[in-house]
Every structure is written in structure tokens, then in C-alpha cells.
């Protein structure tokens, strides 16, 4: 039976869509105007994310799941460590490569922020923004009866059952949880900007420790996200992430404002 999607859920979907798509755009404009950073940095960040996270990292996941899929799925701790490490290594190495080779001539602390906006922004748009738009269309069709009319023409079977089960998330999930996707993206984009600045320091001043620090922080956040999502409510998970990344942002901002370093190259 097809239920009805609550107003709270629809509002949450719209909120998360606006954050996922609007926040990167607003940040890009602000960084361009306030810091005078080239927009090209955001483009490089976006392309690097696609190449290293959505292509190369996914190839590794495919291989690992074929070889150790059952072991990884059965052990949440092992899955968290593997997932966090893979994300940290691929994405931070992507930043390193991009800044060392593709942004070498224009690399500055301002351009590192613009890079982070592009990297985190394209992730927000592709992973959350498009999903929210799809969910919003489905929710409106459900509430208007269009989905039910469409399903009435489909014969009972596995395909119909699978489709209904996928859509049921929209009316069975507590409405407030749809807001959390937007909140999570605020944390994620902030994290990507912070990590981009750390890797910039590694490249600009030849301080390798900042690259490894970025990998470690990325690993910790992703691994912790997997673990907490299995043991705690989503509200607590998002609150923990907001606090952690908020503290990181304060520290990185102080580094940014008081930057002093010796010119070098990683």
C-alpha cells in the first residue's frame, strides 16, 4: 500500500536540496568576491573529486568487494576502517596531485579554499542534491496520486515490490530525518575546505605532515560516521560531526589567518 509523504518530510527534502545545491554556489561567489580566488580552482576541485573518488576509488571498491565482500559486510569495524582509509587516501592524494601539478602556478591559500568549495560542492550536488530533487518529484507524485495510478498498470511481481519498497522510505522515514542530509552537507563541505587548506600547506611549504594529517582526519571522520550510524541515532551522529568539524574549522581558520611559512614545494 502506498502511503502519504508528510509535509515535514517534503520540507526536509527541499531544505536539503537547497543546502546541497545552493551552499556551493553561494560559497563560490563569496570566495571569488572576498578572497579574489580564481573560479578555476573550484573546477579543478570538482574534477579531482570525480576522478579520484567516483572513478578510481570505486574501481578499488569493486575489486575489494569481489575479493572480500562477505568479510567486509559482516564486520562493521573492518568495513569502517577500510572505507575510511580508502576515502582518505584517494581524496587527499587527489588534492595533493591537483595542487602540486594542476594548480602549481596559481597555488595560494585563497585558491585552496576555492578548491575545497569545488571538491565539497560537487560531492554535495551529485550525492545529495540530485537525490533530493528525485525524492521531491517522487513525493509530490505520491501525494497527488500519480504514482498509484502508474503502479496500477504494473502487474504484481518482484519488480513492483522492489519499486514500492524503495519509495516507501519517503513515507516511513520520520520527517525530521530528511533535514539531516542538508545538515550533513554543511559539515562535509566545511571539512573539504579545511582538508584542502591542510594539503595546500603540505604542497606550498613542503610540510608532508599536513598531507598525512589530512588523510588521518578524513579517515577518522568517515570511519566514525560508519560506526556511529550503526550504533547511535542519526541526530547524535550529525551532532558529533558538527562539533568535530566545527573545532577543526576554528583551528584551520587560525592557521589560515596567521599563515607564515617557508616557500617550498612538496
Q: What is the largest CA-CA distance in the chain?
A: 70
How far apart CA 233 and CA 230 sit, in angstroms, is 8
pLDDT at res. 259: 84
Q: Locate 102 and state its grid cell.
A: 594542476
Range of the domain at 123: 7-257
Report how many domains make up the chain. Answer: 1
Phi and psi based region of residue 2 (left: phi greater than 0; alpha: psi -120 to 50; beta: remaining): beta
Question: What does the DSSP assignment read for 30-94?
Answer: HHHHHH---THHHHHHHHHHIIIIIIIHHHHHHHHHHHHHHHHHH-HHHHHHHHHHHHHHHHHHH
Residue 264 counted as domain residue: no
Residue 266 counted as domain residue: no
pLDDT at res. 263: 47
Residue 263 counted as domain residue: no
pLDDT at res. 124: 98
Residue 265 counted as domain residue: no
Residue 121 counted as domain residue: yes
Residue 147 counted as domain residue: yes
Residue 120 counted as domain residue: yes
Residue 98 counted as domain residue: yes
How far apart CA 69 and CA 64 sit, in angstroms, is 7
How far apart CA 56 and CA 61 sit, in angstroms, is 9
From residue 119, alpha-carbon distances to 15, 89, 146 in Å are 21, 15, 37
pTM: 0.92
pLDDT at res. 218: 98
How far apart CA 195 and CA 252 sit, in angstroms, is 9
Query: Strands, E, within 5-72: which ranges?
Result: none
Which helix (DSSP H) or strand (DSSP E) does residue 204 occupy? helix 177-204
pLDDT per residue rounded down to tens, the chain (266 residues): 678 999 999 999 999 999 999 999 999 999 999 999 999 999 999 999 999 999 999 999 999 999 998 999 899 999 999 999 999 999 999 999 999 999 999 999 999 999 999 999 999 999 999 999 999 999 999 998 887 776 666 656 556 667 677 788 899 999 999 999 999 999 999 999 999 999 999 999 999 999 999 999 999 999 999 999 999 999 999 999 999 999 999 999 999 999 865 444 44
End-to-end CA distance of the chain: 59
Q: Phi and psi for 4 in degrees, rounded to 5?
A: -120, 135
From residue 190, alpha-carbon distances to 63, 171, 179 in Å are 31, 31, 17
Amino acid at each position: 500500500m502506498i502511503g502519504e509523504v508528510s509535509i515535514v518530510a517534503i520540507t526536509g527534502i527541499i531544505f536539503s536540496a537547497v543546502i546541497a545545491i545552493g551552499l556551493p554556489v553561494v560559497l563560490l561567489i563569496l570566495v571569488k568576491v572576498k578572497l579574489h580566488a580564481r573560479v578555476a580552482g573550484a573546477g579543478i576541485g570538482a574534477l579531482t573529486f570525480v576522478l579520484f573518488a567516483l572513478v578510481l576509488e570505486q574501481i578499488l571498491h569493486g575489486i575489494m568487494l569481489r575479493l572480500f565482500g562477505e568479510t567486509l559486510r559482516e564486520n562493521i569495524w573492518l568495513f569502517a576502517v577500510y572505507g575510511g582509509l580508502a576515502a582518505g587516501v584517494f581524496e587527499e592524494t587527489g588534492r595533493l596531485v591537483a595542487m602540486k601539478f594542476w594548480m602549481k602556478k596559481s597555488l595560494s591559500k585563497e585558491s585552496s579554499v576555492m578548491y575545497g568549495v569545488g571538491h565539497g560542492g560537487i560531492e554535495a550536488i551529485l550525492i545529495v542534491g540530485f537525490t533530493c530533487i528525485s525524492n521531491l518529484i517522487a513525493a509530490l507524485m505520491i501525494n497527488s496520486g500519480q504514482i498509484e495510478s502508474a503502479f496500477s498498470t504494473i502487474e504484481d511481481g518482484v519488480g513492483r515490490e522492489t519499486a514500492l519498497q524503495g519509495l516507501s522510505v519517503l513515507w516511513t522515514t520520520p520527517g525530521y530525518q530528511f533535514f539531516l542530509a542538508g545538515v550533513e552537507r554543511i559539515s562535509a563541505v566545511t571539512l573539504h575546505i579545511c582538508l584542502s587548506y591542510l594539503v595546500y600547506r603540505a604542497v606550498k611549504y613542503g610540510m608532508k605532515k599536513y598531507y598525512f594529517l589530512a588523510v588521518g582526519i578524513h579517515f577518522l571522520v568517515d570511519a566514525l560516521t560508519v560506526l556511529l550510524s550503526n550504533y547511535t541515532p542519526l541526530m547524535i551522529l550529525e551532532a558529533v560531526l558538527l562539533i568535530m568539524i566545527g573545532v577543526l574549522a576554528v583551528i584551520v581558520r587560525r592557521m589560515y589567518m596567521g599563515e607564515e611559512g617557508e616557500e617550498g614545494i612538496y
